[in-house]
A and B are shown apart, each in its own frame.
Chain A
Amino acid sequence: AQTVTQSQPEMSVQEAETVTLSCTYDTSESDYYLFWYKQPPSRQMILVIRQEAYKQQNATENRFSVNFQKAAKSFSLKISDSQLGDAAMYFCAYSAGGNTGKLIFGQGTTLQVKP
């Protein structure tokens, strides 16, 4: 069975600094997708970034980038120039290729941004 593990329940970062959130996963599939979702206090789930497993290039979205290490089954999220609005719970998620509706989520990391 596929699993997703986030080993950092809480992280904090100073405003304008950089922080990296860790995620590891386990799967025997070769075709899959990885995601980072943000859940602010409003509880709305917001897609931050997505990575296709077949792509070697790390995905980036403005201040957000990932370090995708397929052999190590690691998928970390780097947030650069952290802003107060980045404070939220961040979930790493996995889905097997072909059905991104069946997401397997990690436990989540609560990110605090200090002014």
Chain B
Amino acid sequence: GAVVSQHPSRVICKSGTSVKIECRSLDFQATTMFWYRQFPKQSLMLMATSNEGSKATYEQGVEKDKFLINHASLTLSTLTVTSAHPEDSSFYICSARVGPGNSPLHFGNGTRLTVT
């Protein structure tokens, strides 16, 4: 089956620094990837849609200057949390789909970000 790999699985950073999270589609090409955020024991919220070769589309309320998304190739999207603050601590999950727009998503294994 389709595999989406996310790295790192855990990261701790100091307040004010930036951290990059990678999302790779290992056995398929993904022109579109999706970034979700999950707070502890809560639901997932879509942050942005990452489009290969073009700008990401951000959901309402998500700061695009804080959460930088780059989708430079058909198999890699990156999310950079800039000037991280403790309130950015969360679980970030990327996903991609194989096939057309109505295909189900495959999720990465997530990244737990802790900002101290």
Q: What is the interface of chain A, defined by CB distance below 8 A to chain B?
A: 33, 35, 42-47, 50, 52, 91, 97-108
User: DSSP class of A's interface residues: helix, strand, loop or mixed?
Assistant: loop
- CB pair B105–A43 under 8 Å, yes or no, is no
User: DSSP class of B's interface residues: helix, strand, loop or mixed?
Assistant: strand
Report the 3 A-B pairs with minimum CB-CB distance, sorted nearest first.
A45-B107, A105-B43, A101-B34
Taking the closest CB of chain A, its distance from the CB of B108, in whole angstroms, is 8
Cβ-Cβ contact count across A and B, 8 Å cutoff: 60
The count of chain B contact residues (Cβ–Cβ below 8 Å) is 24
Chain B residues with CB under 8 Å of A50's CB are 104
The verdict on A98 contacting B102 (CB below 8 Å), with A103-B44, A108-B42 known, is yes
Taking the closest CB of chain A, its distance from the CB of B62, in whole angstroms, is 13
From 86 to 116 in chain B, residues with beta carbon under 8 angstroms from any chain A beta carbon are: 91, 93, 95, 97, 101-107, 109-110, 112
User: Of A42, A98, A102, A108, which one neighbours B34 at CB under 8 angstroms?
Assistant: A102
B91, B105, B109: residue with the most chain A Cβ atoms closer than 10 Å:
B105
